[in-house]
Amino acid sequence: MSDGTALAGPDGAPRCPWALSTEDYVAYHDEEWGRPVHGDDALYERLCLEAFQSGLSWITILRRREGFRAAFSGFRIAEVAAFTEADKERLLADPGIIRNRAKIEATVANARVLAEWSPGDLDALIWSHAPDPATRQVPKTLADVPAVTPESTALAKALKKQGIRFVGPTTAYALMQACGLVDDHLETCVARGAPL
């Protein structure tokens, strides 16, 4: 049983324990999670996927990511903003995604909001909530990793104020972790501070 510290992965290198249950997680952990993500469409995708993950395990979303990308036009904001009621019905019948009406509605509604923003606005808003790394303690165990922070609470509030749906402080923090606004790889994890 893990005490929450980094554990040896398939190659013997220490990794965050959550990353070791499947090969999918190992690859996601090593190559993507905690690495900086920029660009409005890329951040919109992560925002949508974190919303779809709400109430589910991340592996459920990770294994359907290509299905989500195909269903939502590669998460290109301008294209999703143009989705019609017929598109929403198509999505509700698509076995390649999570067929949750409220989450599908939010994904399309959020694209419509973001399509009105200037290029770079979403990137700037999200990254303006990145905490100063010098003010954060490096987590030694999973118990040291928060689920919510003042910054994620502020980010969720800022997004909601702009009309973005299905984002709360916990979802916002998961987005911050996934997109590299924070580095929550454990202190001895091989991916901590890994080069891009």
Residue 105 to residue 114: CA distance in whole angstroms: 14
Which residues are tagged catalytic? 28, 50, 58
